[in-house]
Structures are given as C-alpha cells and as structure tokens.
C-alpha cells in the first residue's frame, strides 16, 4: 500500500474514492494502476508523479536533498504531511504485528 493510499483511507474516510481522473501512461507502466483515492489525493499523487518523471537531475537525488524544490509549495506541504502521517501509522502497525509475533 502506498503512503498516499494509507493517508487517504484514514484522513479522508468520508470522501468519495474513485479511480484516477486521468491516466499517466508512464506511471501505469512502471507502478501499475493507481489506488482509488479522493479527488484531492489524486491531484497530489499526480503532481508528485509528474514531477518525479520529469526530474531534470541525473542521477536524481533524494527529493529532500534536491536543490531545485520543484514541487509546488502547496503540494510540498501536503506531501510532507502525508509522509509524516503514513510513516507513523505504518510504523505503529508494524510494531503491533511484531508484538503479536512475540506474544503468540
């Protein structure tokens, strides 16, 4: 499950989820079909993918070390929020699995 899918499922539980509003052939080719998300999260994911596919740096550095900051500031704030939320959530879940594994 990707970060945005986890985030959307928890934070936007009430928003209607659907397939992406438009296809990004390069993405479907490399990562398969995108998960159902709410409209806002699709926008964010598409922006992230678009920027990544068109990154002018070669080799591409980790985005947080990149001098360019190609993300639009609004999306950059959102993607940071998504990473923080999902990172913590997935970590927590990982720990619960680990605990159960220890106990049983």
**Rule CB under 5 A: is residue 82 a binding residue for Zn ion?**
no
# residues near Zn ion by CB under 5 A: 4
CB 56: neighbour CB atoms within 10 A? 7
**Cβ closer to Zn ion: 27 or 35?**
35
Cβ at position 4, least distance to Zn ion in Å: 8
**Cβ closer to Zn ion: 12 or 55?**
12
Burial bucket for residue 8 (CB in 10 Å: 0-12, 13-18, 19+): buried
Q: How far apart are CA 49 and CA 67, in angstroms?
A: 18
**Rule CB under 5 A: is residue 8 a binding residue for Zn ion?**
yes
Binding residue (CB under 5 A) for Zn ion from 2, 12, 49, 63: 12
Gap between the terminal Cα atoms of the chain:
26
Contact flags string 15-54 toward Zn ion, x per CB under 5 A: -----------------------x--x-------------
| Helical axes 39-53 vs 3-11, angle rounded to 10° | 160
Question: By the criterion CB under 5 A, which residues form the site for Zn ion?
Answer: 8, 12, 38, 41
């Amino acid at each position: 499950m990707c970060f945005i899918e986890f985030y959307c499922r928890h934070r936007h539980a009430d928003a209607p989820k659907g397939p992406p509003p438009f296809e990004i052939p390069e993405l479907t080719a490399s990562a398969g079909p995108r998960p159902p998300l709410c409209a806002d999260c699709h926008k964010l994911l598409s922006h992230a993918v678009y920027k990544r596919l068109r990154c002018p740096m070669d080799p591409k550095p980790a985005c947080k070390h990149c001098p360019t900051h190609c993300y639009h500031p609004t999306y950059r704030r959102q993607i940071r929020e998504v990473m923080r939320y999902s990172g913590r959530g997935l970590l927590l879940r990982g720990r619960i699995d680990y605990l159960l594994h220890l106990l049983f």
